[in-house]
Amino acid sequence: MIGTLLGGRYEILFQLGGGGMALIYKARDTLLNRPVTVKVLRPEYTGDEEFVARFRKEAQAVAKLSHPNIVSVYDVGQENQTHYIVMEYIEGRNLKQVIKELGTIPVKHAIDITRQICEGLQDAHENGIVHRDIKPHNILVMDNGRIKVTDFGIAQILSSITITNSETIVGSVHYFSPEQAKGGSTSIKSDIYSVGVVLYEMVTGKVPFEGETPIAVALKQIQERPIPPCRLNPQIPPEVERIILKAMEKDIAMRYNSAGEMARELARISDHGDSRLQDDDQYATRILNGPVVITKDKQTDEEEMNYRKRKRRMKPFAKVMIAAILIGLMAGAVYGLNLYLNVSEVVVPDVRDMPIEQAQDKLSELNLNWSITGRHDPKVTDGYVITQDPEPGKRAKVNSKVILTYSQGPEIAVVPDVVKKERDAAQIELSNAGFDYTTSEDFSEDIPPGAVVSQTPEGNTDAVKGTVVKLVISKGKEPKNAIVPDITGLSLEEARNKLQAVNLKLSSDITQEESTSFLPGTVMRQEPSPNSQIREGDEVKVVLSKGPGPEAKTAAVNVAIPNDGVSHKVKVVVIDDAGTRIAYEAEHNPGDSFTRVVTYYNKGKIQVFIDDMTQPVEERLVE
């Protein structure tokens, strides 16, 4: 594969790794000049059309996801028998490699990693996609600490593969939910269970269940409870252990309701949780051993006595001053509150669908302030107000603020050129660029079946995002008409060969009937009838004779060999309802004469040939 250019665009540079289903390569997108990851299906899967179709369908669904914690899918394609997915290239390692290197991951970092996994999963779940194969191998750790989840939907494709015969399933069984291990239906809560297992492994350095075989591990997932992680690592705070065990509940109803809920709880304990999650700090709360002892000298005692005398003398005056200050503050507060409560109000006008400048002027006339923000909107004219807050008709105090959102017009983007690309790859590329699509089919002399013949709007032109791009998909070359030959009286093999000669097929829908006119095993009737016109590639149905067929008849053939001094080869040919056959063939001396009795069916003709003559020396009709 190294050096191969897939899809005329992706240059394979070197292999990154491989799993039970695919090989993974680093490649260069020669069109955009950027690194990409290319996942190529192993050859043993490419012959299964159903598997390949599901592989492409899943990739197309995942391509619609867009989240900072999910690896983006750019393209799906096929090069001869090579099926591949093009994905975002991530510089970094997978989480399994990190765990092997460190043994255990510090609790605070493990929580942050798990939170990012959950946030990515929440986005996928909201778009109707369940991962089904969450494990450290599918979690990529970037150099900047960001987490990327990859291989969405792959486990669903592999769901028909048994636990015992797949490397991928063997590697995943440690992270399976109990319902997956039972072979039952999966849901978003299956992903949550697997996330709990991943967090367990990060903070303990071990997976919850081990076994000699995948089946043994699967049974433990179903029947046993994990060893509490605190027993394996006393540094794990009880709150973290509680989150792990809740995510790994056998009862689905006891787990978190969503990945987002789990992410929020992880964020909460990270920000306000156990002190063991905090970085070491000289000012951190700590227990002091022993009493605190304060020492004094004589000078300090005298200063303190003088301070107390002054304090007693100042007390009456201080009381008066404090009272005056409090009265002033209260009066000011009452005055300020009165000003606030008695500010005049106005009715907020309706400035929607107005030019932003006109809306600002109208608000200013009523002594209302405003702030503006813009967004693209294909339905509202550029520069016109889309929404306002407060809404029209509400009452607002003078000088309060109205938030205006105005239209920046439709967002314009370049329509990808997808002509000649396969249907799935074209649809993914259009979706990634922000366009919808419809498809129709037509014949094409140049474009192979399943590829795009034409698109409207054309590629590399500007269009509003969300525009529907009409794709015409090739059905291949338009078949031509063929004349149906007469195949009655022929055997099945003879009929099949005669039909193939004019690009027609013999139908497998063959019936039999009794006949006294046609020999057993020969075609006695055909549909369509001889000399009809049908499309090339269409089928012709036949009815075969079960016999008994016509009675055999005999005829005597008299042959005289020329007396010219040389030997001659004689051939007698019979043409009748049984077909054409050689009834007699031998070499004779010059001047010989003989009679030969031949058998024929129904009616036909008998021909006599001398040597290699193309025309018979004698031809006789028989009935």
Residue with tokens 């608000």: 363
Half-sphere exposure of 376 (CA within 13 A, CB side): 8
pLDDT reading at 485 higher than 90: yes
pLDDT value of residue 339: 46
Catalytic-labelled residue, pool 133, 377, 424, 576: 133
**174-188, 494-508, 548-562, 598-612 — which is least confidently predicted?**
174-188
Q: What is the pLDDT of residues 430-474, one digit of tens each?
A: 987 889 999 999 999 999 999 999 999 999 999 998 899 999 999
Give mean pLDDT, residues 506-530: 92
pLDDT value of residue 322: 56
Task: List residues bridging with 83 in a β-sheet.
Answer: 78
Q: What is the pLDDT of residues 376-410, one digit of tens each?
A: 888 898 899 999 999 999 999 998 999 999 998 88
Distance CA 330, CA 322 (A): 12
pLDDT value of residue 379: 86
Distance CA 250, CA 252 (A): 6
Give the H or E element holding residue 27: strand 22-29
Distance CA 376, CA 370 (A): 20
pLDDT value of residue 330: 60
- Residues above pLDDT 90, as percent of the chain: 54
pLDDT value of residue 571: 95
Structure confidence at residue 287 as a pLDDT band (50, 70, 90): very low
271 annotated active-site: no
pLDDT reading at 335 higher than 70: no
pLDDT reading at 428 higher than 60: yes
CB-CB contact of 400 with 373 (8 Å): no
Structure confidence at residue 171 as a pLDDT band (50, 70, 90): very low
Distance CA 465, CA 438 (A): 15
CB-CB contact of 454 with 438 (8 Å): no
Task: List residues bridging with 12 in a β-sheet.
Answer: 27
pLDDT value of residue 517: 82
Half-sphere exposure of 385 (CA within 13 A, CB side): 26
Q: What is the pLDDT of residues 318-329, one digit of tens each?
A: 555 555 555 655
pLDDT value of residue 343: 65
pLDDT reading at 225 higher than 60: yes
DSSP string, 227-246: PPHHHH-TTS-HHHHHHHHH
Which has the higher per-residue pLDDT, 294 or 588?
Answer: 588
Give mean pLDDT, residues 84-106: 91
CB-CB contact of 190 with 130 (8 Å): yes
DSSP state for residue 566 in the 8-state scheme? S
Cis peptide bond prior to 528, omega within 30° of 0? yes
Q: What stretches of 205-355 show up as alpha helix (H) in DSSP? A: 214-223, 229-232, 238-247, 259-272, 298-341
pLDDT value of residue 577: 76
C-alpha distance from residue 355 to each of 280, 352, 381, 382, 404 (Å): 56, 8, 9, 9, 11
Q: What is the pLDDT of residues 111-162, one digit of tens each?
A: 999 999 999 999 999 888 888 889 999 999 998 889 999 887 554 444 433 3
pLDDT reading at 196 higher than 50: yes
Contacting residues for 72 by C-beta, under 8 A, at least 6 apart: 63, 65, 66, 87, 88, 432
C-alpha distance from residue 535 to each of 275, 464, 529 (Å): 80, 43, 14
Distance CA 365, CA 212 (A): 80
Q: What is the pLDDT of residues 10-69, one digit of tens each?
A: 999 998 877 667 788 999 999 999 999 999 888 887 777 777 877 777 677 778 888 999
pLDDT value of residue 377: 86
pLDDT value of residue 288: 28
Give mean pLDDT, residues 252-269: 93
pLDDT value of residue 275: 47
The rounded mean pLDDT for the chain is 84
pLDDT reading at 291 higher than 50: no
Q: Which two tokens stand for residue 123?
A: 């986005």
pLDDT value of residue 277: 57
Residue with tokens 């003398």: 313
- Please give the domain boundaries of the chain with CATH numbers for all domains: 5-88 (3.30.200.20), 96-277 (1.10.510.10), 412-474 (3.30.10.20), 481-548 (3.30.10.20), 552-622 (2.60.40.2560)
DSSP state for residue 399 in the 8-state scheme? T
